[in-house]
A and B are shown apart, each in its own frame.
Chain A
Amino acid sequence: MTAQPKLVGFACRWCSYAGADLAGTSRLEYPASVHLIRVPCSGRVDPTFVIRAFQRGADGVLVAGCHPGDCHYASGNLFARRRFALVKRFLEYLGLEPERFRLEWISAAEGRRFAEVIREMTADLERLGPNRKLREDP
């Protein structure tokens, strides 16, 4: 078996982390590539976290939060949206393939969607191969 891509996911505890839990209770199978890091809000995710993940060899990074308008803290995901629109362009400028970074809105009721996003991203990452661009040599 070929090595699975490594996907680091930042998930807000109110929506997307709960959505991932729902995928679990619904027994929706998806690739084991993803490792979630629980954060209070997508607005907590510092671009440094994303860039560090790529530097340490993550093949893809997902930031997932509540749908706009549904943020538990009212506006956190809107900050995330603005911030990661820029970060995404910056990563592409650095030469990273756009599929390697995604910002997604996944609600606590969208277990199916969570599984779907992980499947899609994993398929993209398998196609792209390992991230060599930003990875620092160990």
Chain B
Amino acid sequence: MPRIGAFICHCGLNITATVDVERVAARARAIPGVVHAETYKYFCSQPGQEKIAEAIRSSRLDGVVVAACSPSMHEATFREAAALAGLNPYLVQIANLREQCSWVHSHRETATVKAAALVAAMVAKVRRDQPLEPIRLSVYPRALVIGGGVAGMQAAWDIAEAGHSVLVVEREPNLGGRMAQLSETFPTLDCASCILTPRTAEVARHPRIELLTWSEVREVSGYVGNFSVKIARRPAFVDWDRCIGCMLCQEKCPAPAPIAFEHGMGMGKAIGVSFPQAVPNRPVIRREYCRRFQGRKCQVCAKVCPVGAVDFEQAESFREEKVGAIVVATGFDVMPAAQFGEYGYGEYPDVIDSLAFERLNSSSGPTGGVIRRPSDGKIPREVVFIQCAGSRDPDRGKPYCSKICCMYTAKHAFLYRQKVPDGQAYVFYMDIRAGGKGYEEFVQRTVDQAGAMYLRGRVARVYPEDGRLLVEGVDTLSGTTVEVAADLVVLATAVLPREGARDLARTLKIAVDEHGFYSEAHPKLRPVETMTRGIFLAGAAQAPRDVAETVAQASAAAAKALGLLTRGELAADPLVAQVDEARCSGCLVCRHVCPYQAIEPRDVAARKVASVNPGLCQGCGACAAICRSGAMGLHGFSGKQVLAEVEAICL
């Protein structure tokens, strides 16, 4: 006969206000096998835990039911308390009397009857629990960082500095990400490449960091501490080991190519790097623009290359890497042109987005840092900035604030005035959100020193007239309509997750929110973790954020990854599937439904049975539900346990 103890918590008045806990305890005492039942004000408190421990010892309990708040609150607390008293922690179950009973019902009688049924169900369950030991997992002491922007570089740097090796996978040919495209950064107006280039060089030189650029993560299998990652490297058509980075190829290449880095503002070449400070300083051939690949004679690059590094036959290559932790830092995109018909974006060349303005403003950009409008190269005398282009706009499906636009628009207006002293900047805005150290002061400087005209209101439309753009809007503060003739219109387009972020989420088995940003495990307490253990988030892949916040979050993600890597071993919940080999028919239907490839066939006495790898199994129970012979069990949620719960509830 089992010896089960039931502990009914008052939770102050939270439970007792609706549930008659003494009656619940009396009902529990009447259940066969329950040898001890008591109530207490707060079982989660130190004296409360001591009461449970004392009962475990004095009544020699072999199962404990704590009827209290949700198991998500204190299951771990009570399991630890039981373990300290010598009871296997997996022989503790929680009946949820607070969140799912006392807080949601008001009729005392029915709530008490329900509470007693919930306790009975947990008694039935705990009777069928087995003592379990946590699974020990080894941790492979290496991290993978996906994305080589400022977030990925910071995370990689921190992990490497702490003494662990890191693999950085970047989709573009070079490190730098979005930040490398920026001219200056707010609110200090540091030149972006001046602060980014040294960091990039440090990362590239670090003896514990390995870079794989022009590469993508294709497949991820395994689990925390033991991920196996398949990485595809796109063909660069240049042998990077041979290449010396002289860029003669780029200089001599006759084929212009629009490169993503310039964001529509300038052309590169079919072979080359995206920007002069690129790290690694190695070129790629962009097949779709290369004359040789278009079937024409050319091969100029191959002819001029002093070391014979050009290789038109290069193919995609793959490699498998083992890592213990993963940091996802894939960054952001901005909303595409097609979405803004009313502003003529995509139709009129002088309507551009803010990222394009960064390129115009960048000294390494297509205009050498002189702000010229795209249509005719004239220096614009009047520039209209439109904030919240797509952001805070439920009609376009983006109800969120993109967070960085108020500040970079102020920066743009400020820099514009510095470069064009007789120019006038107009900013249409909904609200100015300048929360951050020195941010509000910077916006004020833009108004006071740069004379930017801030107009609170929406722009209705933009249309061309006499070689300029007429911007029609409303100033909601004065209640008047406003018309500005502008030479250039700059849209602060909404921040979106990077293209392909959803596919990567599927590959990594992590969740995305309704807008496609990666979901954190808890918005307050676990902001850089995902629900998948061992995978962490950094930067704008999780939500729009600026450089300072991105770097802080990247360091946080690195610290979390290090928390894993510095331990050689970690413990995992043993609530995994297990096979009753005597009953297994060897049909292996279970194998097909397992999302973790945790089930393999095994030969036992000349017949085939399923076998579960407890390290890979995450305990979802898909196999247990589909098993036709009832051979597949699941610790903590076995068929017998669930059926016993059903019976107890229906009694």
Chain B interface size band reads 35 or more
A23 to B29, CA, bound (A): 30
Contact with A along B104-119 (1 / 0, CB 8 A): 1111011101100110
Contact of A73 among B111, B575, B595, B626 (CB under 8 A): B595
Q: Are B531 and A14 in contact (CB under 8 A)?
A: yes
Taking CB atoms, residues of chain A closer than 8 Å to B280 are none
Q: Is A52's beta carbon under 8 Å from chain B?
A: yes
Instruction: Give residues of chain A (1-53) contacting chain B, Cβ–Cβ below 8 Å.
Output: 1, 4, 6, 8, 10, 14, 18, 20-21, 23-25, 27-32, 35-41, 43-46, 48-49, 52-53
Closest to A56 in B: B650
Whether A79 is near chain B, meaning CB under 8 Å from some CB there, is yes
User: Distance in Å from the Cβ of B440 to the closest Cβ of chain A?
Assistant: 32
Chain A residues lying within 8 Å of B106, measured Cβ to Cβ, are: 29
A94 within 8 A of B: no
Q: Which of B99, B105, B509, B651 contacts A32 (CB 8 A)?
A: B105
From B42-50, B243-251, B635-643, the one touching the partner chain is: B635-643
Question: Could you tell me the distance in whole angstroms from the C-beta of B15 to the nearest C-beta in chain A?
Answer: 11
With A40-B620, A53-B650 given, is the CB distance from A72 to B625 under 8 Å? no
Q: Which residue of A lies closest to B651 (CB)?
A: A56
A8, B595: Cβ atoms closer than 8 Å: no
- Closest chain-A Cβ to B516's Cβ sits at a distance in Å of 11
Best-buried of B113, B506, B575, B643 by chain A (most CB within 10 Å): B643
Q: Is B121 an interface residue (CB 8 A)?
A: yes
Cβ–Cβ < 8 Å partners of A14 in chain B = 531
- Does B79 touch A at the CB level, under 8 Å? no
Asked if B98 and A43 sit within 8 Å, CB to CB, the answer is no
Partner of B100, one of A20, A29, A49, A52: A20
Interfacial residues of chain B within 616-630, with CB under 8 A of chain A in the complex: 618-622, 624-626
On whether A24 and B650 interact (CB within 8 A), knowing A14-B531, A35-B118, A74-B506, the answer reads: no
What is the chain A residue whose CB lies nearest that of B506? A74
B647 contacts which of A31, A45, A56 (Cβ < 8 Å)?
A56
**In the complex, are the beta carbons of A39 and B622 less than 8 A apart?**
no
B103 touches A24 (CB 8 A): yes
With A21-B70, A48-B643 in contact, is A40–B103 under 8 Å at CB? no
Beta-carbon contact of A27 and B621 below 8 Å = no
A74 B626 Cβ-Cβ under 8 A: no
CB closest chain-A residue, reference B73: A21
Distance in angstroms between the alpha carbons of A14 and B522 in the assembled complex: 12
CA distance A31 to B625 in the complex (A): 29
Contact A79 B646 (CB under 8 A): no
Mark B46-69 against chain A: 1 for CB-CB distance below 8 A, else 0. 000000000000000000000000
A6 touches B650 (CB 8 A): yes
Cβ B100 vs Cβ A44 within 8 A: no
Identify B618's interface contact among A23, A53, A73, A75, CB under 8 A: A73
Known contacts A25-B99, A32-B107; is A52 also within 8 Å of B647 by CB? yes
Kindly state whether residue A58 has any CB partner on chain B within 8 Å: yes
Cα A24 to Cα B645 in complex, Å, equals 22
Which residues of chain A come closer than 8 Å to B114, judged between CB atoms? 32, 35
Tell me if A115 is interfacial: C-beta within 8 Å of chain B: yes
Q: A44 — which chain B residues lie within 8 A by C-beta?
A: 620-622, 624-625, 634, 637
A59 nearest CB neighbor, chain B only: B650
Q: With contacts A32-B110, A46-B624, A52-B643 known, is A24 near B595, CB below 8 A?
A: no
A136 to chain B, nearest CB (A): 10
B649 touching A28, Cβ below 8 Å: no
Residues of A within 8 A of B101 (CB): 32
B511 lies within 8 A of chain A by Cβ? yes
Residues facing B in A96-111 (CB within 8 A) are: none
Chain A residues with Cβ below 8 Å from B105 are 29-32
Most buried by A among B71, B111, B118, B595: B595
Given A52-B646, A53-B650: A24 touches B624 (CB 8 Å cut-off): no
Task: Specify which chain A residues have a CB less than 8 angstroms from the CB of B379 in the assembled complex.
Answer: none
Determine the chain B residues whose CB is within 8 A of the CB of A52 once the complex forms. Answer: 643, 646-647
| Interfacial chain B residues near A36, Cβ < 8 Å | 96, 100
* B621 cross-chain contacts in A, Cβ below 8 A: 39-41, 43-44, 76
Most A CB contacts (10 A, CB to CB) among B101, B104, B511, B622 go to B104
B294 within 8 A of A: no
C-alpha spacing A63/B367, complex, angstroms = 61
**B317 close to A (CB within 8 Å):** no
In the assembly, what is the distance between CA of A84 and CA of B649, in Å?
22
* Residues on the A chain within 8 Å of B85, using CB: none
Q: Indicate whether B593 reaches chain A with its CB closer than 8 angstroms.
A: yes
Q: Closest Cβ of chain A: how far from B71's Cβ, in Å?
A: 7
User: Residues of A contacting B104 with CB < 8 Å?
Assistant: 23-24, 27-30, 115
Contact status B622-A75, CB under 8 Å: yes
B72 within 8 A of A: yes
On chain B, the residues within 8 Å of A23 by CB distance are 99, 104
Q: How far is the CA of A14 from the CA of B650 in the complex (A)?
A: 25
List the B residue with the shortest CB-CB distance to A36.
Answer: B100
**Cβ-defined contact, B620 with A37, below 8 A:** no
Closest 4 A-B residue pairs measured CB to CB?
A24-B99, A44-B621, A56-B650, A73-B620
24 intermolecular pairs with C-beta atoms under 8 Å apart: A6-B649, A8-B650, A20-B99, A24-B99, A24-B103, A32-B110, A32-B111, A35-B649, A39-B637, A40-B575, A40-B621, A40-B634, A43-B620, A44-B621, A44-B622, A46-B624, A46-B642, A48-B639, A53-B650, A56-B650, A58-B649, A72-B620, A74-B509, A74-B595
Q: Give me the interface of B with A, judged by CB distance under 8 Å.
A: 70-72, 96, 98-101, 103-107, 109-111, 113-114, 117-118, 121, 506, 509, 511, 531, 575, 593, 595-596, 618-622, 624-626, 634, 637, 639, 642-643, 645-647, 649-651
With A21-B99, A49-B642 known, 13 other A-B pairs at CB within 8 A are: A1-B109, A23-B104, A24-B98, A25-B99, A27-B103, A31-B105, A32-B114, A37-B649, A44-B622, A46-B642, A48-B639, A52-B643, A79-B593
